[in-house]
């Protein structure tokens, strides 16, 4: 499955401009990539969060596809109901189209408050794709820590102070947790590697049964980066192997983008204000520890991965 850029650029935009997301926000980029990649009609459920707030301020909407937001923790449960009724109406012959279903949530709505609803929907085996945009904190309410926040990162509820050193707990391994549900398709993606992301969207939507995409999303105010730096941050996350790009198809792991030369983690961290305190000289032992952790996770991933089918070329 190889995506064709020329084809995409001729498609009408399903997520329109004029939304109120921040300049440089990675979510809008991700959603445009996702919707460019879809081929069948889709219905989307969206958890409360930046994307919902920024795209649906009444009486306006950015969505040119059917879209429902009901609450924060239940994007997966809501789409369960939509998909179930779709099955019933299809059997009645009332719906002819082959519709695909997407549930979207941020890391707050997915790693934390929505984990139960997600787990339930995965276990029940609904035919849907869950997309988590992971910006590593509760950005919609102003950068409070989530279980997805990176070790060492500053957030407004893990502030720096005389005693405070940022978040001192590791990020929850959500992708692994989803893989443990033994669903047919799981992948990690990032918007800087758009071809990889869109290919994964297409694979996920072509899957019969549940599929899950965990997409790292640079956040301009939350990561304390310049608006123009969000795609650079997304690429560095991959190039440093902080956010490995891989997929798990029927339990088989495969790394989809292997950096030619792995960059030091510090290059990713120094771009972002939320990690600036880690770059002080006296923090070197902690930085070494973080680097060692990234290396260990990456090595473990390579060890359990099948050889790459084809080399994914990224611009």
Partner 1 sequence: MAIRVAYTGNGACAQAMRQVEPHMVAAYPITPQTEVVEEFAKFVADGKVKTKFLPVESEHSAMSACIGGVAAGGRVMTTTASQGLAYMWEMLYIASGLRLPIVMGVANRALSAPINIHGDHSDTMGARDSGWVQLYCKTVQEVYDTLIQAVRIAEHDEVRLPVMVCYDGFSVSHSLMDLEVLAEEQVKGFVGRFTPRYPLLDIANPVTYGPLALYDFYFEYRRQQVEAMATAERAVREIAEEYASLSGRRYSAVEAYRLDNAEVALVSLGSTASTIEYAVDRLRDEGVAAGALRIRTFRPFPKDAIREALEPLKAVAVMDRSESLSGWGGPVGIEVKAAFYETEARPLLLDVVYGLGGRDVGVDDVREVFGELKKATDAGKMSDPVYYLSLRE
Q: Which residues here bind partner 1, judged by CB under 8 A?
A: 41, 43, 45, 52-53, 56-59, 61, 63-71, 73-74, 77-82, 84-89, 91-92, 94-95, 97, 99, 116-117, 119-120, 123-124
Match 């997301």 to its residue by tokens: 21
Complex with partner 1: residue 66 or 209, whichever CB lies closer: 66
Complex with partner 1: residue 92 or 315, whichever CB lies closer: 92
Complex with partner 1: residue 78 or 155, whichever CB lies closer: 78
How far CA 283 is from CA of 157, 162, 240, 280, in Å, comes to: 21, 15, 19, 5
β-strand pairing of 185-189 with 245-249 = antiparallel
CB 141, min distance to partner 1, A: 14
Q: Which of 261, 256, 268, 242 is nearest to 213 (CA)?
A: 256
CB 43, min distance to partner 1, A: 5
Complex with partner 1: residue 45 or 149, whichever CB lies closer: 45
CB 13, min distance to partner 1, A: 13
**Cα Rg of the chain (Å, integer):** 19
CB 275, min distance to partner 1, A: 32
Instruction: Classify the C-alpha dihedral 115-121-124-125 as positive or negative.
Output: negative
CA-CA distance, 298 to 237, in Å (whole number)?
12
Q: Are 43 and 66 in contact (CB under 8 A)?
A: yes
Complex with partner 1: residue 63 or 138, whichever CB lies closer: 63
Looking at the DSSP bridge assignments, the partners of residue 305 are 253
Complex with partner 1: residue 100 or 195, whichever CB lies closer: 100
CA-CA distance, 236 to 244, in Å (whole number)?
11
Count of CB atoms situated within 10 Å of the CB of 143: 24
CB 45, min distance to partner 1, A: 6
CB 67, min distance to partner 1, A: 5
């Amino acid at each position: 499955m190889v995506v064709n850029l020329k084809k995409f650029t001729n498609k009408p935009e399903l997520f329109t401009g004029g939304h109120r997301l921040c300049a440089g926000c990675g979510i809008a980029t991700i959603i445009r990539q996702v919707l460019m990649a879809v081929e069948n009609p889709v219905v989307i459920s969206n958890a409360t969060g930046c994307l919902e707030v920024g795209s649906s301020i009444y009486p306006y909407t950015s969505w040119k596809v059917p879209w429902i937001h009901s609450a924060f923790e239940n994007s997966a449960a809501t789409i369960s109901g939509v998909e179930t009724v779709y099955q019933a109406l299809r059997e009645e012959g009332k719906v002819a189209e082959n519709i695909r279903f997407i549930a979207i949530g941020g890391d707050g709505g997915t790693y934390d408050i929505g984990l139960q609803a997600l787990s339930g929907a995965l276990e029940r085996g609904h035919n849907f794709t869950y997309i988590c945009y992971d910006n590593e904190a509760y950005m919609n309410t102003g950068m409070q820590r989530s279980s997805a926040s990176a070790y060492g990162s500053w957030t407004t509820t893990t502030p720096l102070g005389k005693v405070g050193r940022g978040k001192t707990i590791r990020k929850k391994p959500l992708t692994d947790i989803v893989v443990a549900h033994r669903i047919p398709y799981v992948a990690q993606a990032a918007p800087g590697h758009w071809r990889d992301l869109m290919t994964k969207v297409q694979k996920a939507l072509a899957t019969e049964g549940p599929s899950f995409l965990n997409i790292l999303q640079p956040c301009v105010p939350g990561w304390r980066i310049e608006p123009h730096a969000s795609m650079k941050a997304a690429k560095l996350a991959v190039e440093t192997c902080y956010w490995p790009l891989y997929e798990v198809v029927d339990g088989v792991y495969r790394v989809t983008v292997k950096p030619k030369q792995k960059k030091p983690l510090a290059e990713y961290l120094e771009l972002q204000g939320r990690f600036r305190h880690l770059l002080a000289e006296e923090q070197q032992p902690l930085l070494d520890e973080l680097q060692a952790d990234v290396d260990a996770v990456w090595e473990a991933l390579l060890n359990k991965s099948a050889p790459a089918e084809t080399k994914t070329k990224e611009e």
